[in-house]
């Protein structure tokens, strides 16, 4: 499965009401270019924090489903985050890791995810739903079968693919439209 195929499958399978938090580099840039929406938050800097942002959001908006689209090197950079997620157990958080075993957004230098068994780690720290997939069909099924999280879908992808995507630049505007989307989706009522 290519990155492009994994991203297409995720974005076409999740509900239009789901929030998407995507990690640094090509993953965010591809989603921004092809699937930009008010329900998206891109994490262009602060590599590694997508899952932490997803956790904070999932804890304070328990009626929304939060989908984090992470990368293997990005997850490894903030690995403690899965311990916190496994401990807090937000049932509405689905953490999808696109794993090409590399820093693909840099120059495809190898990461260490091939020896990390990220799905086993996620299971051990308390994720309630863990799947490992290698093809679009299985990825789609894993997303559709997700009921109660925290969920973790380790998605093996190939290196390569387009690199010339635009960058999300107007971050404050992206934040403002996101917060309006959330307000509308939760009927203006803040959950506490």
Partner 1 sequence: MNQTNKSVFNVLDDKRSEKADQLHKVFRELGVNFASGVPCGVLRHIIKNFDNDVAVLHVIANRESEAVGIAAGAYLGGKVPVVYMQNSGLFSASNDIASLLVPYKMPIFFVVSYRGCEGEDAVQHLTTGQATEHLLKSFGLPFVVFEDQKLETLIRLMFATMREAELPTFLLLKRGWHR
Cis, bond preceding 38 (omega within 30 deg of 0)? no
Is residue 78 near partner 1 by the rule CB under 8 A? yes
Residue number, 88 or 140, with CB nearest to partner 1? 88
> What 3-state DSSP class applies to 149?
coil
Site map 53..72 versus partner 1, x via CB under 8 A: xxxxxxxxx-----------
What is the spatial distance between Cα 49 and Cα 68, in angstroms, rounded to a whole number?
A: 10
What is the spatial distance between Cα 7 and Cα 14, in angstroms, rounded to a whole number?
A: 11
What is the spatial distance between Cα 94 and Cα 14, in angstroms, rounded to a whole number?
A: 10
104-123 positions binding partner 1, by CB under 8 A: none
Among 15, 147, 164, 190, binds partner 1 (CB under 8 A): 190
Buried b (16+ CB within 10 A) or exposed e, 166-178: eebeeeeebeeeb
Is residue 41 near partner 1 by the rule CB under 8 A? yes
Is residue 180 near partner 1 by the rule CB under 8 A? no
Sites of contact with partner 1 (CB under 8 A): 21, 41, 43-46, 48-61, 78, 80-81, 83-84, 88, 171-172, 174-175, 178-179, 182-183, 190, 192
């Amino acid at each position: 499965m290519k990155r492009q195929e994994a991203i297409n499958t995720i974005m076409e399978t999740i509900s239009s009401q789901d929030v998407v938090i995507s990690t640094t580099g090509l993953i965010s840039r591809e989603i921004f270019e092809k699937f930009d929406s008010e329900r998206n938050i891109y994490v262009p800097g602060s590599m590694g924090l997508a899952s932490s942002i997803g956790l904070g959001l999932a804890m304070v908006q328990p009626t929304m489903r939060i989908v984090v689209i992470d990368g293997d090197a990005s997850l490894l950079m903030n690995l403690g985050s899965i311990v916190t997620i496994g401990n807090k157990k937000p049932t509405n958080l689905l953490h999808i890791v696109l794993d090409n075993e590399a820093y693909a957004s840099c120059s495809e230098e190898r990461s260490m995810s091939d020896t990390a068994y990220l799905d086993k780690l996620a299971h051990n720290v308390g994720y309630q739903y863990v799947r490992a997939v290698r093809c679009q069909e299985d990825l789609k099924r894993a997303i559709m079968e997700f009921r109660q999280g925290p969920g973790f879908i380790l998605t093996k992808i190939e290196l390569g693919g387009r690199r010339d995507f635009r960058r999300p630049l107007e971050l404050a505007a992206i934040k403002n439209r996101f917060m309006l989307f959330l307000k509308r989706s939760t009927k203006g009522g803040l959950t506490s």
